[in-house]
Chain A
Amino acid sequence: MIAPAWNLLPLAEIATSLDAGALDARECFIQAAYVVASVLFILGLKGLTAPDKARNGMRMAAVGMLVAVIGTLLDQQILHFQWIVLGLVLGSLIGAAISIWMPMTAVPQRTAISHAFGALAATLVGIEHYQYMLERLAPAHEAIPRVVMGALGFEVMFGSLTITGSFMAFGKLQGFIPSAPITYKFQNFSNIGLFFLAVAIFIALVIVPSTAGMHPAMFYAMVAVGLLVGVLIVLPIGGADMPVVISLLNSYAGLASSATGFALGNNVLIIAGALDGASGFILSILMSRAMNRSFANVLFGAFGAPPADSAAADAHAGKTVRSITVEDAAIQLAYARRVIVIPGYGMAVAHAQHEVRELAEQIESRGGEVKFAIHPVAGRMPGHMNVLLAEADVPYDKLIEMDEINGEFPRTDVALVIGANDVVNPAARNDPSSPIHGMPILNADQAHSVIVLKRSMNPGFAGIENALFYDPKCALLFGDAKSSLAKLVAAVKTA
Chain B
Amino acid sequence: MGITPFLQLYVFLLAAFLGYQMITRVPALLHTPLMSATNAISGISLVGSLVAAGATDRGALSVTLGVIAVTAATINVVGGFMITDRMLKMFKRQDKK
Residues of A within 8 A of B90 (CB): 387, 390-391, 393
A121, B33: Cβ atoms closer than 8 Å: no
Q: A128-B69, A145-B1 are in contact. Are A49 and B27 (CB under 8 A)?
A: yes
B1, B19, B40, B85, most chain A CB atoms within 10 A: B19
Asked if A254 lies at the interface with its beta carbon under 8 angstroms from chain B, I say yes
Residue A301 is within 8 A (CB to CB) of chain B in the complex: no
Q: Chain B nearest CB: distance from A105 CB in Å?
A: 12
Contact of B47 with A117 in the complex, beta carbons under 8 Å: no
A257 to B45, CA, bound (A): 6
Q: Which A residues touch B82, using CB under 8 A?
A: 95-96, 99-100
Within 8 A of A (CB), among B19-49: 19-20, 22-49
Select one of A80, A260, A279 contacting B34, CB under 8 A: A279
A283/B93 contact (C-beta < 8 A), A78-B54, A124-B65, A262-B5 known: no
For residue B43, give the distance in angstroms from its CB to the closest CB of chain A: 6
Q: Mark B41-67, 1 if CB is under 8 A from A, else 0.
A: 111111111111111111101110111
What's the least CB distance linking B76 to chain A, in Å? 5
Please tell me the number of chain A residues within 8 Å of chain B, measured between CB atoms: 116
Residues on B with beta carbons closer than 8 Å to the beta carbon of A393: 90, 92, 97
State whether the Cβ of A278 lies closer than 8 Å to any Cβ in chain B. Answer: yes
Indicate if the CB atoms of B16 and A90 lie closer than 8 Å: no
Contacts of A55 in B (CB 8 A): 85, 88-89
A91 and B50 CA atoms in complex are apart in Å by: 13
- Are A267 and B40 in touch, CB under 8 angstroms? no
Q: Is B50 in contact with A96, judged by CB distance below 8 angstroms?
A: no
Residues on the A chain within 8 Å of B38, using CB: 45, 250, 254, 275-276, 279-280
Q: Which residues of A contact B76 (CB under 8 A)?
A: 95, 114, 117-118, 121
Tell which of A58, A87, A268 has the most Cβ of chain B within 10 Å. Answer: A87
Question: Which A residue sits closest to B1, measured CB to CB?
Answer: A147
Of the candidates A262, A278, A376, A398, which one forms a contact with B16 in the assembled complex, judged by CB atoms under 8 Å apart?
A278
Alpha-carbon distance between A439 and B90 when the two chains are bound, in angstroms = 31
Cβ 8 A contact of A128, one of B35, B62, B71? B62
Task: Report Cα–Cα, A54/B4, bound state, in Å.
Answer: 35
- The residue among B23, B27, B45, B71 with the most chain A CB atoms within 10 A of its own CB is B45
Q: Are B79 and A114 in contact (CB under 8 A)?
A: yes
B92 touches A99 (CB 8 A): no
- Residue pairs across A and B with Cβ atoms less than 8 A apart, 25 shown, are A45-B19, A51-B93, A65-B44, A73-B54, A87-B74, A99-B82, A100-B86, A107-B87, A111-B32, A111-B35, A114-B76, A114-B79, A118-B45, A120-B72, A125-B45, A260-B45, A268-B47, A269-B45, A270-B8, A272-B44, A274-B11, A279-B19, A383-B34, A390-B90, A393-B90
In the A-B complex, list the 9 residue pairs whose CB atoms are closest, starting with the nearest.
Answer: A91-B74, A87-B70, A95-B79, A383-B31, A278-B19, A95-B78, A383-B32, A382-B31, A78-B54
Q: Which residues of B contact A (CB under 8 A)?
A: 1-5, 8, 11-13, 15-20, 22-59, 61-63, 65-94, 96-97
